[in-house]
């Protein structure tokens, strides 16, 4: 809503998806799969849109069979780990070709890496994986996860200052869009296949 835009703090998820796609492209990956949630969450739609835009800018499209969604109303109540196994099995059953997976978030990316390991595949030698958020666990999983950093601390600090300013009698000039840009954190889960 435009009326509350000056009071919102948000992340450019489209740019984050684009960053992931462009990074993978630079590393030689042309066939990319996306594993995400099927929800009303705008973040996941924007991240997928960004991946598609990043690849489209290089003349590549993401086929529908390369995109998997976890349903939030799943009757079997699969954990993220179980869903990642199901998603990868479905991708392979569909005949999807991919050398890399972009996951909705780091937890899902680590689930994908574990599922690939259980299938006898090596990350990043067989399949590269990129997450989103840069959670602490991304640094300590093996291999350490390449991810899109969500600057949550900076966003929280800014939101706190904004909130305090809006409660004071004289707001301190926070009348602008509070858009934060993600960055890529390169670790060990992506192979350069050039």
Low-confidence ranges of the chain (pLDDT < 70): 1-10, 39-40, 71-76, 155-156, 158-159, 163, 165-166, 168-177
State pLDDT tens for residues 175-184: 555 777 899 9
Phi, psi for 139 (deg, rounded to 5): -80, -25
Question: What are the structural domains of the chain?
Answer: 5-185 (3.40.50.2300)
Q: Cα–Cα distance between 152 and 157 in angstroms, integer?
A: 9
Given a contact cutoff of 8 angstroms between Cβ atoms, the answer to whether 129 and 91 are in contact is no
State pLDDT tens for residues 54-81: 999 999 999 999 999 876 555 567 788 8
Beta bridge partners of 1: none
Mapped onto helix, strand or coil, the DSSP state of residue 81 is: helix
What is the value of pTM for the model shown? 0.85
Beta bridge partners of 131: 147
Which residues have CB under 8 Å from 46's CB, separation 6+? 13, 14, 17
User: Which of 99, 104, 141 minimizes the C-alpha distance to 124?
Assistant: 99
DSSP secondary structure string for all residues of 29-54: ---EEEEEEESS-HHHHHHHHHHHHH
């Amino acid at each position: 809503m435009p009326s509350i835009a000056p009071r919102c703090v948000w992340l450019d998820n489209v740019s984050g998806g684009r960053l992931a796609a462009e990074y993978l492209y630079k590393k030689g990956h042309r066939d990319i799969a996306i594993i995400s949630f099927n929800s009303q969450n705008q973040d996941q739609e924007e991240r997928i849109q960004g991946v598609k835009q990043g690849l489209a800018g290089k003349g590549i499209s993401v086929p529908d069979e390369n995109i998997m969604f976890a349903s939030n109303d799943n009757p079997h109540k699969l954990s993220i780990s179980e869903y990642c196994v199901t998603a990868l099995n479905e991708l392979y059953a569909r005949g999807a070709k991919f050398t890399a997976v972009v996951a909705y978030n780091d937890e899902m990316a680590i689930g994908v890496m574990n599922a690939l390991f259980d299938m006898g595949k090596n990350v990043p030698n067989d399949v590269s994986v990129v997450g989103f958020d840069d959670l602490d666990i991304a640094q300590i999983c093996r291999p350490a996860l390449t991810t899109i950093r969500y600057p949550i601390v900076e966003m929280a600090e800014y939101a706190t200052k904004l909130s305090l300013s809006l409660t004071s009698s004289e707001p301190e000039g926070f009348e602008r869009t509070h858009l934060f840009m993600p960055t890529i954190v390169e670790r060990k889960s992506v192979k350069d296949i050039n």
